[in-house]
Amino acid sequence: MTADATEDLESFRERARSFVRAHLRPAEGSSSSAGLLRADKTDEEELAAVARDREVQRMLFDAGLAGICVPTAYGGRGLTPAHQHVLNDELRDHEHPTRLQSPTFTPCMAVLLEFGTEEQKQRHVPAILRGEEIWMQFLSEPGGGSDVAGALTTAVRDGDEWVLNGSKVWTTGAWWSDWGLCLARTNWDVPKHRGLTVFMLPIRQAGIDVHRIEMLNGSKEFCQEFLSDVRVPDRDRVGEVDQGWTVGTRWMVHERMAFNSPLVTVPLGSGHAGVSGSSMAAIAAAGGRLDDPLALDLIGEAHMLDAVGSALNRRIGEGIATGTMSDQSSAIGRLFAGFASARRTTIGFELAGAAGAAWTDDDGELAERGNDFLMRQVSCIGGGTTEMAANVVSERVLGMPRERTLDRDVAFRDVPRSASHS
């Protein structure tokens, strides 16, 4: 199957529908198996799911349905966000390569398309579209919180190579991924935003130790990476030396867009982190509460959050694409998505009743809602905190005064740090 850059939406829909119905399986499981980073798979099952995601991505690529908005020069289809929307619509209730979408397609591939050299794009973008490379962002650091620009991971030049040392953390799925996009400090004698550089590096190599972090619900998807004298060729530097914040600013835009990016293939109607409004009726039914007015109000609220989020994201996407809204407006969608996801998770917990506090494996839709509730703030932290998104909205969208900082014009080596970071 092939796609033409001028393919009309109706023809594209027919082609996508034919492929999806002929080749993709129905979406697995029920809402009970789609919680927030649930520990519902063994390592072997998780690796098998990753392999299936790669397989489905390759199927989409061979069918001319991968990289819908990616230029044809790099293996994409060169079509429009409207075409991607059509594909997402046709994928409803079907499997899709979920683990490859974020952060592989966005922000990582988006950053490569925007800042990578021609050689870098030719080498990696087609491989990403074929499902051969899964990328992670090596961004957050221990003790760094949301201050991404305060990176302490260092990169020191040694001829045609750079030597990286430091640690990154909260990298979901690093243990089964291939490449990392890494922000590192290359200059300590300038203010923190001016001494950063971005590199890409294979994760499975000598000098990179990936440690999995066990969460309160037993999930071990979050990882911490320790980099010890990792050598990266200069050809794998993304952007100019010490200009990493120029890359980083756009990196954050793409990260906040997440599943709303036109680069991402996600079935329409699928809730972020598996807490869509459509799952709430199933929870209420399992608890025998479909005739409870309070339960019906909660179900309605969950559906309202889905509807508003969908309309908001569509408006923001169209606004950014047409230039009528700043690209920083992606923070609006990020802010809403974080709070809406936390609220939907809370609604699921409330609907579960007593089973939200204690459940058995036989409780079906009611099981694990208590763990989901305890994990609900993940949606307000991962992908950039909602506090940072609020700052972006106030300062870069609404034009309000910038938050006061004391280190803006201070060489980074002179910025006070705790003893453990000195």
Residue 267: which CATH number? 1.20.140.10
Supply the pLDDT for residue 361. 84
Q: Which of 380, 394, 366, 170 is nearest to 272 (CA)?
A: 380
Dist CA 67 CA 69 (whole Å): 6
Domain assignment present for 142: yes
The CATH number of whichever domain residue 93 belongs to comes to 1.10.540.10
Domain assignment present for 411: no
Instruction: Identify whether residues 349 and 380 lie together within a single domain.
Output: yes
Domain assignment present for 207: yes
The pTM assigned to this predicted structure is 0.86
Instruction: Identify whether residues 221 and 266 lie together within a single domain.
Output: no
Q: Which of 239, 267, 262 is nearest to 320 (CA)?
A: 262
Instruction: Identify whether residues 141 and 239 lie together within a single domain.
Output: yes
Supply the pLDDT for residue 314. 84
Instruction: Identify whether residues 199 and 148 lie together within a single domain.
Output: yes
CA distances from 121 to 114, 124, 136, 240, 285 (A): 9, 5, 17, 16, 49
Supply the pLDDT for residue 422. 44
Instruction: Identify whether residues 329 and 339 lie together within a single domain.
Output: yes
Instruction: Identify whether residues 186 and 228 lie together within a single domain.
Output: yes
Dist CA 39 CA 83 (whole Å): 35
Supply the pLDDT for residue 279. 85
Domain assignment present for 61: yes
Q: Which of 343, 367, 348 is nearest to 295 (CA)?
A: 348
Domain assignment present for 1: no
Instruction: Identify whether residues 260 and 390 lie together within a single domain.
Output: yes
Instruction: Identify whether residues 267 and 392 lie together within a single domain.
Output: yes
The CATH number of whichever domain residue 186 belongs to comes to 2.40.110.10
Supply the pLDDT for residue 383. 75
Cβ–Cβ under 8 Å, residues 248 and 241 = no
Segments of the chain with pLDDT less than 70: 1-5, 29-36, 269-276, 418-422
Neighbours of 326 (CB within 10 A): 15
Domain of residue 92: give its range.
9-133
Domain assignment present for 419: no
Q: Count of domains in the chain?
A: 3
Supply the pLDDT for residue 62. 98
Supply the pLDDT for residue 200. 98
Supply the pLDDT for residue 275. 60
Instruction: Identify whether residues 82 and 157 lie together within a single domain.
Output: no
Token output for 419: 């003893």
